[in-house]
Amino acid sequence: MPRTVLITGGAGFIGSHLGDDLLAAGHRVRVLDCLSPQVHPDGKRPAYLDRDVELLVGDVRDRDAVRRSLDGVDAVYHFAAMVGVGQSMYQVADYTGVNDLGTAVLLEALAERPVENLVVASSMSVYGEGLYRAVDGGLVPGRERGREQLAQAHWELRDADGGALAPVATPEFKQPSLASIYALGKYVQERQALLIGGAYGIPTVALRFFNVYGTRQALSNPYTGVLAIFAARLLNGKPPMIFEDGRQMRDFVHVKDVARACRLAMERPAAAGEVLNIGSGQAIAIRDLADRLAAVMGRDDIAPEVTQRYRVGDIRHCFADIGKARAVLGFAPKVRLEDGLEELADWLSGQIAVDRVEQAARELAARGLTV
């Protein structure tokens, strides 16, 4: 049955793709978005947002705007958030206001007017370090690396006896380790939503997104996803900047796969009350990813700059175990990384990016947030 669905933050990267997916499935889509200058520099409705999407411009912290946006709505996707680990460590009030308070305002409104479904966007950042296998074969949670270790460029995690720890796919049962204000806020968002959803009978799902990539990502935002940051550098003839030694492992999932997972979270009753990883289930080293992006963009003459520096709040390895999402949602990624990168390169050929990466790096260094 067609529903009227609200997506907070829905004029952005993931939200707009979700809007397309929901429209194709026959639903009506409304978006509440403040059109933040960091994401939408011109402050206008983005051209990529489908004309059938109803856009309400407003801040998720504005109680009146939130209540208006909920009028006649059957289901809500809460995506409105400030994004970025590094920036969150010095714009603490802004991140806490948008991510924590904004979620609270939305949930107060939903307590007054419950909906049929609520899906909240969380993040793999809540895990901190991922899960590891010790020398004896046992599974152990990764622990935060100390500054002394990092200052010596000893990047890999080891046990108390100096034994090597091997990264493995991280499942939802791995306890959170909140290494940044952004990670803390995302964990608060998912717990707030699940608590209020349970109290007011709203079926609620928290989706922990891993590294989402694809078209429409904000190329001029130096705190967005790493692939978009690399692309902005390459478009300007500059080398991607890579922290540590570039061998840190991540999981990159295509935005269309993420949008489909979000729709399934609304459609599958068994998902209510669950926290689910949404990723590709595959790991790749950041240095390898940079090389592959440069190749598909025709800029393999530009080698990445491996800085051998560390940002406070960064982790070494984390990639997704998606077994639970397969079982609960029937979710399986469809877009191969090579195909997704080709699509991204085609889109990038028509884009202009203002490269602010070096400015962001200077801001972090000035605050002592790089080692």
Q: pLDDT tens digits for 167-183? A: 999 999 999 999 899 99
pTM of the model: 0.95
At 282-310, the pLDDT tens digits run 999 999 999 999 999 999 999 999 999 98
Residue 172 is predicted with a pLDDT of 98
The tokens for 360 are: 């962001």
Residue 275 is predicted with a pLDDT of 98
Q: Is 95 a catalytic residue?
A: no
Q: Kindly write down the DSSP assignment for every residue of 148-175, as one continuous string.
A: HHHHTT--S-B-TTS-B-EEEPBPTTSP
* 8 A C-beta contact, residue 85 and residue 314: yes
pLDDT of 278 > 90? The answer is yes
Give the phi and the psi of residue 88 in degrees, each rounded to 5.
-65, -20
pLDDT of 154 > 90? The answer is yes
Listed residue (286, 300, 309) closest to 237, CA to CA: 300
Q: Which residues contact 91 (CB under 8 A, 6 or more apart)?
A: 82
Pairing of strands 284-285, 249-250: antiparallel
Q: How many helices (H) and strands (E) does the chain have?
A: 13, 16
Structural fold of domain 4-366: Rossmann fold (3.40.50)
pLDDT of 138 > 80? The answer is yes
The residue-averaged pLDDT of 180-196 equals 96
In the set 182, 187, 223, 310, the catalytic residue is 182
More confident residue, 119 or 361: 119
pLDDT above 90 covers a percentage of the chain that reads: 82
pLDDT above 70 covers a percentage of the chain that reads: 99
